[in-house]
Amino acid sequence: MVQFHPVLGSLKSYEAGKPIELVVREFGIRPEDVIKLGSNENPFGCSPHVTERIRENASQMYLYPDDSYLDLKNELSLKFGVAPERILPGNGSDQVLDFACRSVLSPGDSVLINRITFAMYKIYALQCGAKIHSTETVPHDLDAFLDLAKLLRPKILFLCTPSNPAGDALSKTDVYGFLERLSPDTLVVIDGAYMEFAAKKDPEKSLSPRELTDRFPNVFYTGTFSKVYGLGGMRIGYGIGDAELIRNLYKMRPPFSIANLSAFAATEALRRPEHVDFYLEKNLAQMKRYEDFALERELTWIDSYANFITLFARKNGKTSDEICRSLLRQGIILRDLKSYDLNAIRITIGRPEQNDRVLEALSKEFA
């Protein structure tokens, strides 16, 4: 019998947000009546110019991608002001997170994460046989990170800012102060999946990958096209770092890891910033409706620098599980944070008419 790697015994799978297909299958609701606000997608979709580009290029699906991904890297290079050699493209930022783990971790190495954070850091690190340690608070506590780092000498430390699934964000000053005090031997992964939202709301919460990685060669910054660019289905992300760091991480990259249509879509999306601006405006205005709702009903929420809001469900002995299941039966997909050990719901800020329906449904739950 084939003997599997011992590490497989400790692995759990990622619990993904529920897809529309599942609600259709389980509750017999028509796809067009489902409101999907559980996965922090851009509810307005991608730019219509991107859709057009894909329609025009659909006949190219038989050709392998240009494995240099030069066009995509050149556009990212323009956006961030870093040389293309400092950019590592991936099949979602997920894949570049995986490269980071596999490039430095050996079994038994320590990895340090926030108590509540994106679940894949732990999964990828466990696949490498690493030991996971975490801080104790919901928002990132950088002093706690420093204390633990001194003790554990982690090979990797993950910061997620703005934080998923909580929504809070670190300030530039705090992050720079932290990096100056941390050992340069630790690879610091800064996951900026939601950075564009933070930059819009408060420039002090905005981190520049160029500045970060110029000053700190031990920082690996990651970004994605799944959020603000509205391309979650197409699986495109990237990592930015010092040239030497990227050269090393590149060795873990399999060829052709991004589909050609995905690379076309991301390249076109970068050329259409007006769609991003439109969405960022809408997101802030619609977020306010959820804050007002929580305020009126005296619900606790976390101030969000992203495209979602985390509401605690503790009023009237309610559980997040009950609320999410009740809304799911009405065709509304939200994210229950029970699996993160929080009695809270994470709601992606939707289009105005979607938020109407969600707020109406939530009114009944919190009546």
Residue 162: CB atoms within 10 A of its CB come to 25
Measure the CA–CA gap between 59 and 42, rounded to whole angstroms. 26
Find where tokens 């929504």 sit: 167
**75 contributes a contact to its own copies by CB under 8 A:** no
Among 143, 147, 185, 296, binds its own copies (CB under 8 A): 185
Residues in region 204-233 near its own copies by CB under 8 A: 217-218, 226, 230-233
64 with 260: CB under 8 angstroms? yes
Distance of closest approach, residue 289 Cβ to its own copies, in angstroms: 21
Among 74, 77, 127, 171, binds its own copies (CB under 8 A): 127
**250 contributes a contact to its own copies by CB under 8 A:** yes
Measure the CA–CA gap between 114 and 206, rounded to whole angstroms. 19
In DSSP terms, 310 is beta-bridged to 302, 346
Measure the CA–CA gap between 222 and 175, rounded to whole angstroms. 15
**348 contributes a contact to its own copies by CB under 8 A:** no
**23 contributes a contact to its own copies by CB under 8 A:** no
Q: Which stretch binds its own copies (CB under 8 A): 204-212, 243-251, 296-304, 308-316?
A: 243-251
Coil, strand, or helix at residue 291? helix
Coil, strand, or helix at residue 339? helix
Residues in region 30-49 near its own copies by CB under 8 A: 36, 39, 41-46
**54 contributes a contact to its own copies by CB under 8 A:** yes
Distance of closest approach, residue 69 Cβ to its own copies, in angstroms: 10
Residues in region 267-326 near its own copies by CB under 8 A: none
Closest CA to 348 of 164, 99, 154, 121: 164
Measure the CA–CA gap between 287 and 303, rounded to whole angstroms. 10
Longest dimension (CA), the chain: 62
Distance of closest approach, residue 194 Cβ to its own copies, in angstroms: 15
**195 contributes a contact to its own copies by CB under 8 A:** no
Closest CA to 349 of 30, 42, 29, 23: 42
Binding mask 139-158 for its own copies (x = CB under 8 A): ----------------x---
Among 29, 88, 92, 328, binds its own copies (CB under 8 A): 92
Q: What are phi and psi of 279, to 5 degrees?
A: -65, -40
Among 26, 27, 33, 67, binds its own copies (CB under 8 A): 67
**257 contributes a contact to its own copies by CB under 8 A:** yes
Q: Please identify, using beta-carbon distances, which residue of 129 and 139 lies nearer to its own copies.
A: 129
CA dihedral 148, 149, 152, 154 (to 10 degrees): 140
Residue 87: CB atoms within 10 A of its CB come to 25
Q: Please identify, using beta-carbon distances, which residue of 84 and 217 lies nearer to its own copies.
A: 217
Find where tokens 């783990």 sit: 101
**187 contributes a contact to its own copies by CB under 8 A:** yes
Q: How many positions of this chain bind its own copies (CB under 8 A)?
A: 84
Q: Please identify, using beta-carbon distances, which residue of 6 and 203 lies nearer to its own copies.
A: 6
Distance of closest approach, residue 27 Cβ to its own copies, in angstroms: 15
Q: Please identify, using beta-carbon distances, which residue of 101 and 138 lies nearer to its own copies.
A: 101
Distance of closest approach, residue 306 Cβ to its own copies, in angstroms: 16
Closest CA to 233 of 67, 10, 16: 16
